[in-house]
Amino acid sequence: MPATSLFHIAIKTGKPEATKRFYEQVFAMSESPRPLFEFPGYWMQLNTPHGGSIFHIYTGHAALGTDGQVPTGSGAIDHIALSAHGFAATRERCRALRIPYRERSVPGFPLWQLFCYDPNGIQFELNFHSAYEDRGEVTVDPDNWVKAGSEWFDPEAYRQFEMA
């Protein structure tokens, strides 16, 4: 699973309109089409000749922390998303290493996703474009579906990376 590029940064907010206006007015970003997820938000895209990475801004139940509040500061960054390829091989690698992961397909977009954490508890989303994947090898497991706003980091699963 080579990660190939930064795909997006996801930011939780209790102030979606102000956040959207900030990215429009300060960074000159523009709103990008967004799937009909079960929670509200915006996708804001860099205005570069090649499109550029997107900031996913979301609110509602998915933005709440474990304490029921919307986090601020660095805690408002929910996850980092990377483009990747080799969905089936990546899923098998996670299974072999006993790394907990979740998966999903994106409604209306040709993307399959695999979510996992790093040893610091930072969530990563790996995005696999279906046009570049072997469709015969990929079936997204609905029993292992990622739920927006859920946290399932288990530090014990990452102890293996502490050994030299």
Angle (CA) 24-150-101 rounded to 5° is 105
Higher pLDDT, 64 or 148: 64
> pLDDT value at position 75?
86
> pLDDT value at position 40?
93
Percent of the chain with pLDDT over 70: 93
Residue 26 has pLDDT above 90, yes or no: no
Nearest alpha-carbon partner for 127 in 92, 93, 80: 80
> pLDDT value at position 22?
86
Residue 164 has pLDDT above 70, yes or no: no
**Where are the strands (E) in the chain, listed by range?**
3-12, 30-32, 41-45, 54-58, 77-84, 102-105, 111-117, 123-129
Q: What's the Cα-to-Cα distance from 8 to each of 43, 52, 67, 69, rounded to whole Å?
A: 9, 9, 25, 23
Contact between residue 127 and residue 82 where contact means Cβ atoms under 8 Å apart: yes
Residue 23 phi/psi, 5-degree rounding, is -65, -35
Q: What is the pTM of this model?
A: 0.76
d(CA 125, CA 108) in angstroms, rounded, equals 18
Residue 60 phi/psi, 5-degree rounding, is 75, -160
Yes or no: is domain 3-162 CATH 3.10.180.10?
yes
Look at 74-78, 130-134, 139-143 and tell me which has the smallest mean pLDDT: 139-143
- The alpha-carbon radius of gyration of the chain (Å, integer) is 16
